[in-house]
Structure 1
Amino acid sequence: MAEVHVIGEIVGASGFPENSLFCKWGIHTGGAWKVLAGQKEGQTQVDIPENETFCAWGHPIDIHLATKGLQGWPKFHFQVYHQDEYARNELYGYGFCFVPTAPGTHDIECVTWRPTGVFREQISHNFVGGGPQLRNPDLVYTSTDRDLLQTVGMGKVHLQLGVILRNFDKFGVEC
């Protein structure tokens, strides 16, 4: 079996309207993939920078995957939340990015977005908070009906990933 080992970190986030952010993350793969070691999902801590626009998380990622085929290449998906002074959590954005297909070290910026909803929901979000959320978060990394959503761009999640590929040459894949 061909193997992919991803080692790195979710460095942090930038470009969001407010600080005091945390992130829920996961990795999604196709049916031919299996996890040999490591966590498939997790959550960062809340960072509350005082005078900076960058929230630093430094959350480690170490996952070892094996596959029988290239279909369903691994991708990270993110949900970024803002935590207010009363410890209420509000969704600030969804995003996803593919694990790089080339071995080596990679700096990745994953752009995020959030659903806007109808006009009434937008007005409510501006005054009360707690905007619309997806009923099915799998929609973030699947192309089914995603083009029907009305969204607005949010900030970026920054990653530093090291990718190690093993035995791909035995399956006729050159890197």
Structure 2
Amino acid sequence: MAEVHIIGQIVGASHFPKHSLFCKWQIHYGNGWRLISGLKEGQTHVDNPQYDEKAYWSHPVDIHFATKGIQGWPKFHVQVYHLDHWGRSELYGYGFCHVPASAGTHIVDCVTWRPVGTLRDQIRQYFVGGGPQLKNIELAYCGYDRYRLQTETMGIVHMELGIILRHFDKFGVEFKFM
């Protein structure tokens, strides 16, 4: 079987409206893929930078897959949360990005968004906190019904990923570099 090894880190996040952020992440892949080793989900610590706009997590990622084809190529799904001074976590954004399909080191920026809701939801969010969240989390990375949602752009999650590909040539998959 062909193999894909993903080694790297979730570096941090930037351009969010408030500090004190943490990230929950998952990696999704097709039915033809098998997880050999590593975790397919995790959560970073909370970073509350005092003097910088960017939150730094440096959360390690080490995942090893086996596959017989490229259909269902892995993608990261992230959820960024803000932790307020009362200890409540508020959703700040959903996002997803595909794992790069070429070997080497890659810098990946995952743009996030969140549902806006009605005017009543926005007023409630301003005074009480919280806000609208997705009932079906698959909408964040599948896309079909997501385009009917009213959303707003949030910040960016930064990743550094090293990709190692093995035995793809034995299964007739060629990667051409330009």
TM-score range, shorter chain: over 0.9
Instruction: Report the CA distance between 1:139 and its aligned residue.
Output: 1.1
Cα deviations across residues 35-57 of structure 1 (Å, max 9, x unaligned)?
00000000000001111100000
Alpha-carbon distance in 2 for matches of 1:139, 1:71: 20
In the TM superposition, residue 73 of structure 1 has moved relative to its aligned partner by 0.5
| 1:123-134 correspondence runs (5 A) | 123-134=123-134
Superposed, 1:39-118 pairs within 5 Å as 39-118=39-118
Q: In the aligned structure 1, how far is the partner of 2:68 from the partner of 2:118?
A: 44
Is there any run of 5+ residues in structure 1 with no aligned partner, and where?
none
Query: After TM superposition, where is structure 1 displaced by more than 6 Å over at least 4 residues in a row?
Result: none
Q: How far apart are residue 173 of structure 1 and its match?
A: 1.2
How far did 1:144 drift?
2.6
Give the structure-2-normalised TM-score: 0.96
Identity %: 63
Pairing 1:159–2:164 present: no
Q: CA deviation at 1:127?
A: 2.0
Residue 121 of structure 2 corresponds to residue 121 of structure 1: yes
Q: Which residue does 2:4 correspond to in 1?
A: 4
Q: CA deviation at 1:143?
A: 2.0
**In 1, Cα distance between equivalents of 2:143 and 2:15:** 25
Q: How far apart are the structure 2 equivalents of 1:21 and 1:4?
A: 30
Q: CA RMSD in A?
A: 0.7
**How many pairs does the alignment contain?**
175
> How far did residue 151 of structure 1 move?
0.4
CA distance in 2, matches of 1:20, 1:137: 23
Structure 2 alignment gaps of length 5 or more: none
